[in-house]
Amino acid sequence: MKDLINLEIDESAKGMSAASLKKSRAIRADFIKRYGRVPSSVLLRDSKESNRDTIDLSKEGRGGGYVHHYNKNKRKMIEGEGFTPGMEKSGMVTQGRTNYLSAFPQNVGRTIIDFYCPEDGIVLDLFAGHNSRMELCFKLNRKYIGVDVCHEFMEDNRKIKRILYRNRKNSLNIHKHD
């Protein structure tokens, strides 16, 4: 598999050019080779019903999922063999003003981080928000840098970071042998 992290930027591969299509197809082929398919939870597009992008609003365990069409402002049930259902939420909760982490599709995030970020790599998140991605990176043993303009979010993120480190330390269960 090609090293997608160190791809050279091809200025002609922007927009709707042949180079852009070739690059997109190469990334898609590598995803399929590694995971068997491209996760449909990333972004769905139904050209029969909408010319605009759609967002996966599925819930885990349904065997399918709902897709919200912006231009029709309605949901449609999507079922299929390759569909990755679930907005697997972060398990962390804080007592701060923001109260809980955002719903981020952890199943999709896990696949993307695994695909694009080597185990010794760093994930840069310029829109940290409630930071469920920080927890995901922590679980995947990736380094993480999160930035957000909201002070309350970052305060809660610091609390979450302390909880994650404390939980990891407690989970090591180091015992002295007699």
Per-residue pLDDT at 177:
46
Per-residue pLDDT at 175:
47
Per-residue pLDDT at 16:
64
Beta-carbon contacts of 9 under 8 Å, excluding residues fewer than 6 positions away, are none
pLDDT band for 11, please (50, 70, 90 cuts): low
Q: Is residue 138 predicted with pLDDT exceeding 70?
A: yes
Per-residue pLDDT at 94:
44
pLDDT band for 128, please (50, 70, 90 cuts): confident
Burial 87-112 (b: 16+ CB within 10 A, else e): bbebebebebebeebeebbbbbbbbb
What percent of the chain stands above pLDDT 70? 47
Per-residue pLDDT at 15:
60
Are the CB atoms for 83 and 7 separated by under 8 Å? no
The domain locations on the chain are 13-79, 106-171
Mean pLDDT of the chain: 64
Residue 131 vs residue 74, higher pLDDT:
131
Any idea what the Cα angle at residue 115 is, between residues 166 and 133, rounded to 5°? 35
Per-residue pLDDT at 102:
52
pLDDT digits (tens, 9 = 90+) for 93-125: 444 444 444 556 677 788 888 888 888 889 988
* 75 to 11, 17, 54, 125, 136: CA distances (angstroms): 38, 33, 10, 29, 28
Per-residue pLDDT at 162:
84
Beta-carbon contacts of 33 under 8 Å, excluding residues fewer than 6 positions away, are 1
Beta-carbon contacts of 178 under 8 Å, excluding residues fewer than 6 positions away, are none
pLDDT digits (tens, 9 = 90+) for 40-73: 544 444 334 334 444 444 444 444 444 444 444 4
Q: Is residue 14 predicted with pLDDT exceeding 50?
A: yes
Per-residue pLDDT at 146:
83
Are the CB atoms for 92 and 160 separated by under 8 Å? yes
Please give the Cα distance from 72 to 49 (Å, whole number): 9
Per-residue pLDDT at 38:
67
